[in-house]
Amino acid sequence: MATLRLAQLTKTFPGGANAVDRIDLDVADGELLVLVGPSGCGKSTTMRLVAGLERPTAGTIAIGDRDVTALRPQDRDIAMVFQSYALYPHKTVRDNLAFGLRMRGVGKDDIATKVADAARILELEPLLDRKPRALSGGQRQRVALGRAIVRSPQIFLLDEPLSNLDARLRVQTRTELARLQRRLGATMLYVTHDQEEAMTLGDRVAVMRAGKIEQLAPPLDLYRHPATTFVAGFVGSPAMNLLACTIADGVARAGTLAIPVAAPPGPAILGVRPPDLDLVAVDRGDTRGRIDVIEALGRELLCHIHLDDATPDLRVLAPADADLDEGDVVGIALRRDRLHLFGEDGRGVMTPPR
Amino acid sequence: MSRTGAVRLAAAVALLVAIALPLVFALLASFAPERELYRGHGLAPSELTTAHYRTLFTERDFWTPVRNSLVVAAATTFLCVAIASACAYALARLRFRGRRLVLGAMLAVSMFPQISIVGPLYLLLREVGLIDTYPGLVLPYLTFALPLAVWLLVGYFRQLPSDLEDAAIVDGASRLRVLWEIVLPLAAPGIATTAILTFVYCWNEFLFALSFTTTHERQTVPVAVALFRGQFQVPWGQILAATIISTLPVLVLVAAFQRRILGGLTAGSVK
């Protein structure tokens, strides 16, 4: 296992756009670092650069203390799990697992031992002589994972490895993957577009947008102290409410909402997460609105509340047993110690105290 | 069955009849006595005879042209598929300057009418002493077969999921290993199709074979059959028998490879 260091890594595709734009990133030995962002943010390109499947336009990649920027993928000692799994369809599971070892000239007996070990860890033993087309989605995913761990590489790269599984299997496999990663002490770079996956799996999470890392932090720090409105809106579900407001005389105003804040005057963006809002009697609270839609999430109700035509609807979480109906007019109170404030440029000005 | 279904079926049957009728006629006529061929008795001969086939192999030494055709077609097909696979893989997957130009130029070259290069090729082959030899046919055939094969294979290779090749490369395989271990097995249907087309092309080729061979020892089937005509008579029975024999290898090939061509080999690899 080893560390991974990206310095000023840049990839410009023909046509102009910077898919990856001067990224600096350090992954510690044994860390699982997640790259998360919407599609087109450059996370997959970053991973392909690390794998060596794309050549960087500028910048360097180092694994351990070895600069691998100019090395071919074959010489980097990395393993990659593809979103599509990319299992060799004409080879059995056993041959799929053995392929990487065979290509690296490992001896026959050694291969047999390592394949057997990997198969045991991933419970693939009964499937070894099958072809991929005779496997279920979950089994294919495990073979793809097995093909990576059998080689004990320096770095694991996982490109949306769970996105082809159905929801239940995805959550289950996520847990197994986290367990496996700790057990192997593996250094992993993990790409996903799913913020929940990123939050639950990552030791640290890098939120990417337009080829840049918007914020890099442990999951809870991202949630509690988002550096930008983009991170604030991307991390956490249901998403944070973001309201354009104007601050004057220590009061932030957005439509009918007025709330005191300690910030310099001028235009700003007020952020407050759905669980940090409380529904109260109409004449109390910081503002009022009409419940437009109620979605029952199970443990809670997600209410979409219409304030006025100029302000986007607020998302508020209420207890499941609350006596609410669509069309009700309610008061809304903001928890003062849970407010986020961002400047007009989307950069954070104030987050809740640590 | 719906009305459009019925119309389609009728059209398919009509097409099949149009294509198959001459073949059926040739088959029947090849077993008919020579005298009946000129009488116009309709399709069915009054008696069947294998005389034409016997004459073919006893008096005409038809084995020699069959052997020549098989050797030339097989050698061309083998070389063509081997070379075209490597070329097509490079053109399909590697990024290099002038890739489009190479593809375009290859297509353009294959568009020349054969007759326009027979003369120069003859002089060239005579100069290097390849007239009336197997290489003297295989090499010119390659010039025509290769561009088509490369184009076909580029199409097949591009259809393969590139994740598979990326996975093999990350697994440590060189480009040639990827081609050999991953791409070729998966492109087997495409390879088979290309091979059959090449083989059939060489098997049927007439102009080069006529121009570049001079003796019976190296003549291929189409040339031999064309030379059956004597000064005073055309032995139609033997010609038809030879035609039927020359159809056999192609039939066998297509029958043998049909399953592969239809096979969905990549099922289960991605998703």
pLDDT tens, A282-318? 888 888 899 999 999 988 999 999 988 888 899 999 9
Rounded distance between C-alpha atoms, residue A157 and residue A35, angstroms = 11
- In this complex, which of A85, A104, A134 lies closest to B270 when CB atoms are compared? A85
A-B contacts (CB, under 8 Å): 85
Rounded distance between C-alpha atoms, residue A141 and residue A124, angstroms = 11
Cβ contact (<8 Å) for A164 and B174? no
Three-class SS of residue A273? coil
Q: What is the largest CA-CA distance in chain A?
A: 78
Two structure tokens written together for B57:
């192999």
Return the closest-CA partner of residue B109 out of B82, B73, B78, B148: B148
Residues in a beta bridge with A63: A4, A66
Cβ contact (<8 Å) for A89 and B269? yes
Nearest chain A Cα distance for residue B177, angstroms: 9
Domain extent listing, chain B? 1-49, 63-262
Cβ contact (<8 Å) for A80 and B167? yes
Asked if the C-beta of B166 comes within 8 angstroms of chain A's C-beta atoms, the answer is yes
Rounded distance between C-alpha atoms, residue B78 and residue B85, angstroms = 11
The parts of chain B modelled with pLDDT lower than 70 are 1, 40-43, 259-271
Q: Looking up tokens 């794309």, which residue turns up?
A: A54
- In this complex, which of A51, A132, A137 lies closest to B269 when CB atoms are compared? A132
Write the CATH number of the domain with boundaries B63-262: 1.10.3720.10
DSSP A90-117: TS-HHHHHHHHHHHTT--HHHHHHHHHH
Two structure tokens written together for A103:
């290509």
The interface predicted TM-score (ipTM) is 0.85
Contact A19, A12 (CB under 8 A): yes
Rounded distance between C-alpha atoms, residue A38 and residue A36, angstroms = 7
* Residue B245 CB contacts under 8 Å (≥ 6 apart), including other chains: B53, B56, B62, B66, B221
Q: Where are the alpha helices (DSSP H) in chain A?
A: 43-51, 93-103, 108-121, 137-149, 167-184, 195-201, 219-224, 229-234
Q: Is the dihedral of CA A207, A212, A217, A222 positive or negative?
A: negative
Q: A53: nearest CA in chain B? A: B166
Cβ contact (<8 Å) for B270 and A73? no
Contact A78, A153 (CB under 8 A): yes
Cβ-Cβ contacts under 8 Å, A99 against chain B? 168, 171, 173, 181
Least confident of A212-216, A249-253, B33-37, B87-91: B33-37
Rounded distance between C-alpha atoms, residue B188 and residue B260, angstroms = 7
- In this complex, which of B164, B174, B267 lies closest to A88 when CB atoms are compared? B164
Q: Which residues of A touch B (CB under 8 A)?
A: 51-53, 72-74, 78-80, 82-90, 99-100, 103-104, 131-135, 137, 140, 147, 151, 164
The alpha carbon of residue B71 and the mean position of all alpha carbons in its chain are separated, in whole angstroms, by 13
* Range A58-72 average pLDDT: 94
Cβ contact (<8 Å) for A132 and B182? no
Residue A347 DSSP one-character state: B
Whether cis (ω within 30° of 0) applies to the bond prior to A238 is yes
Asked if the C-beta of B175 comes within 8 angstroms of chain A's C-beta atoms, the answer is no
Rounded distance between C-alpha atoms, residue A320 and residue B197, angstroms = 69
Asked if the C-beta of B187 comes within 8 angstroms of chain A's C-beta atoms, the answer is no
Contact A293, A303 (CB under 8 A): yes
Which fold does the domain A4-227 belong to in CATH?
Rossmann fold (3.40.50)
- In this complex, which of A86, A103, A133 lies closest to B163 when CB atoms are compared? A86
Contact A207, A230 (CB under 8 A): yes
Cβ-Cβ contacts under 8 Å, A79 against chain B? 170-171
Two structure tokens written together for A74:
């074959």
- In this complex, which of B170, B182, B271 lies closest to A88 when CB atoms are compared? B182
Asked if the C-beta of B173 comes within 8 angstroms of chain A's C-beta atoms, the answer is yes
* Range A133-155 average pLDDT: 92
State the pLDDT at residue B190: 86
Which fold does the domain A238-350 belong to in CATH?
OB fold (Dihydrolipoamide Acetyltransferase, E2P) (2.40.50)
Asked if the C-beta of B184 comes within 8 angstroms of chain A's C-beta atoms, the answer is no
CB atoms within 10 A of CB B73: 27
Rounded distance between C-alpha atoms, residue B240 and residue B222, angstroms = 12
Strand A32-36 relative to strand A78-81: parallel, antiparallel, unpaired? unpaired
Q: Please, what is the average pLDDT of chain A?
A: 91
The half-sphere exposure of B58 on its side-chain side, counting CA atoms within 13 A, is 6
Cβ contact (<8 Å) for A103 and B268? no
pTM here is: 0.81
Nearest chain A Cα distance for residue B99, angstroms: 16
Domain extent listing, chain A? 4-227, 238-350
Contact A219, A212 (CB under 8 A): no
Asked if the C-beta of B66 comes within 8 angstroms of chain A's C-beta atoms, the answer is no
Distances (CA, A) of A11 to A17, A43, A97, A190: 9, 11, 32, 19
